[in-house]
């Protein structure tokens, strides 16, 4: 925490055990900011983060600014666990707020990595919230440590915050122009000074970021458009790659900080990460996923009696598969929506039953029937077999697994937690071998061309590296980034702090 930044009593909650039986990839984070003088901006940010909870469940934080100083509170847990009425009141008296909800993709799941990060500069405090991953974070951090910087976290996000704070000389634009060209990788940033709210996107636009208006000279910035409407704002547009949106007392202005390299929005945002009511590239995620189901039925038909989704992200695709195939849609699995995070450590037997803790079969929809089970992805293959077994135990005669993404064969270095190729089941086994391992009657993945057809935009606009191995941002040969890279660097004796407070994406 900065010397000038005012930290509320940052409550510490023990690392939670995430009862997550889904085999889907785990995503980065959610960023939400609001500039609205005269309103309860901390409360608006709270509800904005609540709408972005799907993007990260490890920690949450909100910082507020009143024109002179920045207050902040962050802790481990869900948004509803981190904040209560008293904390929101303590963050009041402000006209700007910046919030963050985190899933760790660089740096441990620890309070020291919770965001927003607040740092002091020569002209005042600065808060940063980050979604994405830098591929040159270790290089930048090593240089800063040699220059005497002591870090409080083990994340790449603090590197960004430190660099911006050091470059601040009264103009956020000049600081951005100095720092952003040095950053390599994916970054969608919310930045706050005591008087300004800024939204910044990397020159490839890997992670989404948008801006909305809540009233005259009152604006919000958000990782996804779904959170814009939740707080009563209307969507204006997406932040362009390499662009900064700067909001202050003079209104909203735009600045192209880094030249556009090429559009490379993560394709997994459409397949899984983004909420179905969000828009990216002017495409509704719900409609796109439904078209993926249409394409899946064409590429991988099945002789079956019922189509069921794995809730929730696969529901639109299962509806699309049902429409295109003529096979009846049914909700064959009921999701326990309150088990995603628990502070009670399950014993080994309950961990082994993880899928059954999260889903319950509707036996009357499954027993005696040939089932098409639609899901969005198989990454590690650790739970799909349990879901198939659950359906068979519920009486399914056959289970035909249909996946709305291509096989994920390559690691992601831009903010998805699948950085080890050896952990990716499709990188090590053929489709039929995967089918045998998960116990399915048949298995079909949607092809990459079919996904692109469903999105209805040219394939050149997307990052598809986890599917085809073509990385839009060069990955340094000495990196092949791992989630705990900065943790290991510190353990190996590099100069740094004891890891007390900070962030990531």
Q: Which residues are catalytic?
A: 29
- H/E element, 435: helix 431-438
User: Which residues have C-beta within 8 Å of that of residue 309, sequence separation ≥ 6?
Assistant: 315, 317, 318, 319, 331, 333, 373, 374, 375
Question: How far is 409 from 334, CA to CA, in rounded Å?
Answer: 30
The tokens for 264 are 């490379």
Q: Which of 141, 240, 225 has the alpha carbon at shortest distance from 188?
A: 240
Question: How far is 417 from 483, CA to CA, in rounded Å?
Answer: 8
Residue 330 CA to chain centroid, in angstroms?
29
The tokens for 85 are 């009425």
- H/E element, 79: helix 79-82
Is there a contact between 448 and 406 (Cβ–Cβ < 8 Å)? yes
User: Which residues have C-beta within 8 Å of that of residue 491, sequence separation ≥ 6?
Assistant: none
The separation between the first and the last C-alpha atoms of the chain, rounded to the nearest angstrom, is 17
Q: Which of 504, 501, 505 has the alpha carbon at shortest distance from 74?
A: 501
Q: Which residues pair with 369 in a beta bridge?
A: none
Q: Which of 283, 285, 325 has the alpha carbon at shortest distance from 305?
A: 325
Is there a contact between 63 and 7 (Cβ–Cβ < 8 Å)? no
The tokens for 310 are 């794995």
**What is the three-class DSSP state of 319?**
helix
Question: How far is 492 from 481, CA to CA, in rounded Å?
Answer: 17
Listing DSSP states for 377-404 in one string gives: --SS-SSHHHHHHHHHHTT-SEEEEEES
Q: Which of 318, 442, 306, 313 has the alpha carbon at shortest distance from 365?
A: 306
> Helix and strand tally (H, E) in the chain?
19, 25
Q: How far is residue 154 from each of residues 206, 415, 483, 504, measured CA to CA in Å? A: 22, 15, 10, 8
- Buried b / exposed e along 105-124 (16+ C-beta atoms within 10 A): bbbbbbbbbbbbbbbbbeeb
């Amino acid at each position: 925490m900065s010397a000038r930044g005012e930290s509320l009593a940052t409550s510490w909650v023990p690392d939670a055990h995430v009862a997550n039986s889904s085999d889907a990839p785990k995503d980065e984070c959610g960023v939400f900011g609001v500039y609205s003088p005269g309103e309860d901006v901390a409360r608006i940010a709270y509800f904005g983060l609540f709408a972005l909870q799907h993007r990260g469940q490890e920690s949450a934080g909100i910082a507020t600014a009143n024109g002179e100083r920045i207050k902040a509170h962050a802790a481990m847990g869900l948004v509803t666990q981190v904040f209560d009425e008293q904390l929101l009141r303590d963050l009041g008296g402000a006209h700007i707020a910046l919030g963050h909800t985190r899933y760790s993709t660089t740096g441990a799941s620890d309070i020291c990595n919770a965001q927003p990060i607040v740092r002091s500069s020569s002209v005042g405090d600065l808060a940063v919230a980050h979604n994405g991953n830098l591929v040159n974070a270790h290089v930048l951090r090593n240089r800063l440590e040699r220059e005497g910087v002591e870090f409080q976290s083990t994340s790449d996000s603090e590197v960004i915050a430190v660099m911006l704070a050091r470059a601040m000389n009264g103009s956020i634009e000049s600081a951005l122009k100095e720092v952003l060209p040095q950053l390599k990788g994916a970054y969608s940033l919310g930045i706050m000074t005591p008087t300004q709210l800024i939204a910044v996107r990397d020159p490839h636009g890997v992670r989404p970021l948008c801006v909305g208006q809540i009233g005259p000279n009152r604006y919000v910035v958000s990782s996804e458009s779904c959170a814009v409407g939740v707080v009563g704002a209307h969507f204006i547009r997406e932040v362009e790659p390499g662009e900064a949106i700067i909001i202050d007392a003079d209104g909203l202005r735009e600045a192209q900080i880094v030249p556009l390299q090429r559009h490379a929005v993560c394709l997994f945002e459409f397949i899984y990460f983004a909420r179905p009511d969000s828009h990216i590239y002017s495409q509704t995620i719900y409609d796109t996923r439904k078209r993926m189901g249409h394409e899946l039925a064409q590429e991988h038909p099945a002789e079956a009696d019922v189509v069921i989704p794995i809730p929730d992200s696969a529901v639109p695709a299962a509806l699309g598969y049902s429409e295109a195939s003529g096979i009846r849609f049914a909700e064959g699995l009921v999701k326990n929506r309150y088990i995603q995070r628990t502070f009670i450590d399950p014993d080994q037997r309950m961990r082994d039953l993880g899928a059954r803790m999260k889903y319950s079969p509707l036996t009357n929809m499954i027993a005696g029937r040939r089932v098409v089970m639609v899901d969005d992805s198989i990454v590690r293959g650790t739970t799909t077999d349990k879901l198939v077994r659950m359906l068979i135990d519920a009486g399914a005669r056959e289970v035909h697994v249909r996946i709305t993404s291509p096989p994920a064969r390559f690691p992601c270095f831009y903010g998805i937690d699948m950085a080890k190729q050896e952990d990716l089941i499709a990188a090590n086994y053929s489709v039929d071998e995967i089918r045998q391992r998960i116990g399915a009657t048949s298995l079909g993945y949607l092809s990459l061309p079919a996904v692109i057809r469903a999105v209805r935009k040219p394939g050149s606009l997307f990052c598809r590296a986890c599917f085809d191995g073509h990385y839009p941002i060069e990955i340094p040969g000495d990196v092949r980034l791992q989630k705990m890279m900065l943790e290991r660097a510190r353990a190996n004796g590099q100069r740094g702090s004891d890891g007390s407070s900070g962030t990531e994406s």
